[in-house]
Amino acid sequence: MKDSPPITVSLSTSSVYPDSTAAGFEAAARLGYDAVEVMVGIDEPSTDIDAVRALSEEHGIAVGSVHAPCLLLTQRIWGLEPWGKLHRSAEMALELGAEIVVVHPPFRWQRDYARGFVEGVAELEAQYEGIDFAVENMYPWRSGKREFQAYAPGWDPIPQDYAHVTLDLSHTATAQADPIAMARELGPRLRHIHLADGTGTGKDEHLVPGRGTQPCADFLEELAGTGFDGQVVVEISTRKAADAEARENDLLEALAYARLHAVALPS
């Protein structure tokens, strides 16, 4: 059996938040990441195709994916109409040569959007040839013993008829779900990975992989063994890093972890 090509390891610009999109590109290029995932958010350059293209060219690093503005914090980015946000994300991806648009399922209170979401995503994929809309797994919201289902048609993409899925290992920790079992059930629908870790609390922690309870190493090794040809994106939180050096060390550690484990073991 021929060796599979190395899995691409990208850096999400959210990993340097609250620093800028520009800082994310600079760090990704300097530290040796293969590409960048642009988190479209409150940092104005992230919303501007020309500004993102200029950053990509300045630092000599490709944009591999675009994360649509789906967070509560970004509800007003590119207007209030949710489908418009996905169209603009697809246009950015096409202009920049990215293959993936990452999208979260709707919040339950976005009733009209949620009602036609599965079908609407399929229509977008048909409209934007060459762009995969990879719907991300989320998690129930918990407070003490209470649990609230915040997403519709649901936080778990497995039962839904999505052609492509993003699997986030911080979210599986928060949902107390098994990422390896989810990956196996998704099969070829698994297109994109957000690599992080968590401890299974009610918080979405986005720890450096290896610092939580998720089976990140086993997950990556199995992924490589299946011949996965999507992208692994480091999406960690460095907000609590003591200083710039500590943040850089976290980014380096996450990259080294991905490179070490995203390799098929000999049979």
pLDDT tens digit sequence for 196-205: 999 998 899 9
pLDDT of residue 4: 60
Q: Is residue 1 part of a domain?
A: no
User: pLDDT band for position 1 (50/70/90)?
Assistant: very low
Give the separation between CA 267 and CA 257, rounded to whole angstroms: 21
CATH no. for residue 145? Answer: 3.20.20.150
Nearest 5°: CA angle at 215, between 36 and 224? Answer: 55
Structure confidence by residue, pLDDT tens digits, 160-195: 999 999 999 999 999 999 999 999 999 999 999 999
Q: Is the residue at 2 inside a domain?
A: no
Distance CA 162, CA 154 (A): 12
Asked whether residue 266 is assigned to any structural domain, the reply reads no
Is-contact 228 217, C-beta < 8 A?
no
In a domain, 136, yes or no: yes
Domain count, the chain: 1
Percent over 70 (pLDDT), the chain:
97
In a domain, 267, yes or no: no
Domain assignment present for 254: yes
Q: Which residue has the tokens 């490709």?
A: 62
Read off the pLDDT of residues 206-237 as tens digits, 9 standing for 90 and up. 999 999 999 999 999 999 999 999 999 999 99
In terms of residue numbers, what domain contains 81?
A: 8-260
pTM of the model: 0.95
Q: State the first-to-last Cα distance of the chain, in angstroms, to the nearest integer.
A: 10
Is residue 265 in a domain? Answer: no
Rounded Cα distance between 160 and 183, Å, is 14
pLDDT class for 2, splitting at 50, 70, 90?
A: very low
Domain assignment of residue 144, yes or no: yes
